[in-house]
C-alpha cells in the first residue's frame, strides 16, 4: 500500500511512520518548509514532500491508495485564533482532499478530536459519536467544523472516509509540557509533582494503539464510497487522572510525592470525558 501522510513529524505521525514501514507500506509524507524533526527516531525515512498544503497538485498523489491526515493546527495552548484554526484545520485540508481525489485517491483516514464534543462530555457517561458537538475553544471548534465539512465532501465526492476522534493519547514523543511527559520528568528527577485532586475521568490511549488503529483503518474493507463514518478512538477503559498518575508513579519507582490538590481545576473543566466505543458505524451514521 502507498500512503500519503500529513503530520509525519508529529507525535502520532512519527509512530505511524514506523508502524507502516514495519508492515512494508510505502509513505509519502508532507511536511511544511523548515518544520522540526520527527518526535521519535524513525527506523526509516519516508519520501518527504516539503511544501504547504495549498501548493499540492493532483500529480503529487499519483499511485497513492490512501491519504492519512494527522496534521492539525494549534493543538495545544495558547490556541491560535478561530479564523486561523478554520483556515488550517478546515479550508487547507479540504483543498488538499480535492487535489488528492483528482489524483486518484479514494480512501481518506482523518484524525478527529474528542474535544469536538466539548461540553457534551458532561451529559454522557460514555460519549456516542452522535452526541452534540459543543466545543468551547478555537481549536476544538475548527475540528468540529472539519468533521462536518469533510463528511459532506465525502458524500459529494463519493469517496471512502473514516474520521477517528482520538481521546487522551499519551506516550513517547509527546510534547514535554503535557501531563504524561511532565509526570515522567518529575519521576526521573526525584521531584514532587503538583497536580489537581485528579478526579477527572478520561480514556487514556497509548500512542502505539492510536497509530495502529489508523494503519488498520487503511486496510478496512467495510468502508463504502459516499458513506463516511465517524468513530471514537479510545481503549474503552475509564480511569481517573489520580489513578493514572499513581499507576505510572509506581511503575517508575518515583521518589517524590504526588501533590494532589496543589493545582486548581481549569475553568469549565469537563470532569468526565469518556467515549462510547462501538462496532464500525453503518452507512449514513455519524
Across the strands, what pairs with 241?
Answer: none
The tens place of each residue's pLDDT in the chain, 286 residues long, gives 999 999 999 999 999 999 999 999 999 999 988 888 999 999 999 999 999 999 999 999 999 999 999 999 999 989 999 999 999 999 999 999 999 999 999 999 999 999 999 999 999 999 999 999 999 999 999 999 999 999 999 999 999 999 999 999 999 999 999 999 999 999 999 999 999 999 999 999 999 999 999 999 999 999 999 999 999 999 999 999 999 999 999 999 999 999 999 999 998 888 999 999 985 443 433 3
2-170+204-235 adopts what CATH topology?
Answer: Rossmann fold (3.40.50)
pTM: 0.95
Amino acid at each position: 500500500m502507498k500512503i500519503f501522510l500529513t503530520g509525519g513529524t508529529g507525535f502520532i505521525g512519527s509512530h505511524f511512520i514506523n508502524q507502516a514501514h514495519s508492515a512494508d507500506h510505502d509513505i509519502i509524507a508532507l511536511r511544511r518548509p523548515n518544520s522540526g524533526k520527527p518526535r521519535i527516531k524513525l527506523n526509516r525515512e519516508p519520501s518527504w514532500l516539503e511544501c504547504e498544503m495549498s501548493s499540492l497538485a493532483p500529480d503529487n498523489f499519483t499511485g497513492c491508495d490512501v491519504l492519512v491526515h494527522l496534521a492539525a493546527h494549534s493543538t495545544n495552548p495558547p490556541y491560535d485564533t478561530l479564523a486561523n484554526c478554520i483556515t488550517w484545520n478546515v479550508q487547507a485540508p479540504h483543498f488538499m482532499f480535492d487535489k488528492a481525489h483528482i489524483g486518484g485517491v479514494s480512501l481518506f483516514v482523518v484524525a478527529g478530536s474528542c474535544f469536538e464534543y466539548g461540553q457534551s462530555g458532561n451529559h454522557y457517561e460514555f460519549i456516542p459519536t452522535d452526541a452534540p458537538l459543543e466545543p468551547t475553544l478555537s481549536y476544538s471548534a475548527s475540528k468540529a467544523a472539519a468533521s462536518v465539512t469533510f463528511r459532506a465532501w465525502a458524500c459529494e465526492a463519493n469517496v471512502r472516509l473514516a474520521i477517528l476522534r482520538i481521546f487522551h493519547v499519551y506516550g513517547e514523543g509527546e510534547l514535554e509540557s503535557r501531563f504524561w511527559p511532565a509526570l515522567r520528568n518529575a519521576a526521573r528527577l526525584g521531584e514532587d509533582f503538583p497536580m489537581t485532586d485528579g478526579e477527572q475521568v478520561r480514556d487514556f490511549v497509548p500512542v502505539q494503539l492510536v497509530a495502529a488503529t489508523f494503519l488498520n483503518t487503511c486496510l478496512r474493507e467495510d468502508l463504502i464510497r459516499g458513506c463516511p463514518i465517524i468513530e471514537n478512538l479510545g481503549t474503552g477503559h475509564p480511569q481517573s487522572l489520580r489513578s493514572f498518575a499513581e499507576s505510572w508513579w509506581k511503575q517508575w519507582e518515583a521518589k517524590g510525592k504526588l501533590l494532589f490538590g496543589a493545582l486548581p481545576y481549569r475553568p469549565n473543566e469537563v470532569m468526565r470525558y469518556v467515549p462510547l466505543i462501538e462496532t464500525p458505524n453503518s452507512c449514513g451514521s455519524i
